[in-house]
Amino acid sequence: MEDFHSRFISFAIEHQVIRFGAFKTKAGRVSPYFFNAGLFSTGASLKALSGFYADAILDSKVSFDFLYGPAYKGIPLVAGIAMTLAERGRDVPFCYNRKEIKDHGEGGTLVGEPIGRALIVDDVISAGTSVRESVASLHAAGATPVGVMTALDRMERGVTERSAAQEVTFQYGFPVFSIATLDHLMNYLMRDPAYAEERKRMMEYRALYGEGISNSAD
């Protein structure tokens, strides 16, 4: 039986959430693949995605009190994951932010009760901007972020030799977990000769832009 990492890669390729070709990134790099979690846009695909997140959360053994989803993609993610975890016997609260401050009703920018330790949930980490904004919002609310869970870790360095995920750990001291990483994607492609050319291009790209040091908060 395949592990959840490989099953997730297969699922993402099947739904064309992972695509191969030539895609320009925010950093101006031309990537041979692209991950678009916004294409998990049906009830069935969101339910399956939430299951993969739940698998990864339980596998990580991270201890947390509530899930936090940054607007906008993080909102359906934490709702779906919370329902899935409840089905598996763990009922946890979830919280998310608004892009605009509400000046009536309960007011503020956060919806839910951000009390205790927060696990931040997002689709991917690019430059780490969303994580920094989430950390600031949680600290302002008196909560403590204890980790980040993403769908895919591209294992790609930013302005330093560290990847964005490594930079988050280095800066804040908490871990970044993922359902799958570039290593899992590469291993999946290696099994199928039909993806030989895609894997070759990804290896070349990784040689140029892959993370250069181990993930450490030291």
Active site residues: 102, 104
Q: What are the structure tokens assigned to 166, written together? A: 């490594």
Report the 3 state secondary structure along 116-166. Answer: CEEEEECCCCCCCHHHHHHHHHHHHCCCEEEEEEEEEECCEECCCCCEHHH
Q: Which of 38, 36, 34 lies closest to 20 in space, CA to CA?
A: 34
Residue 110: CB partners within 8 Å, gap ≥ 6?
95, 96, 97, 98, 137, 141
Between CA 163 and CA 176 the distance in angstroms is 11
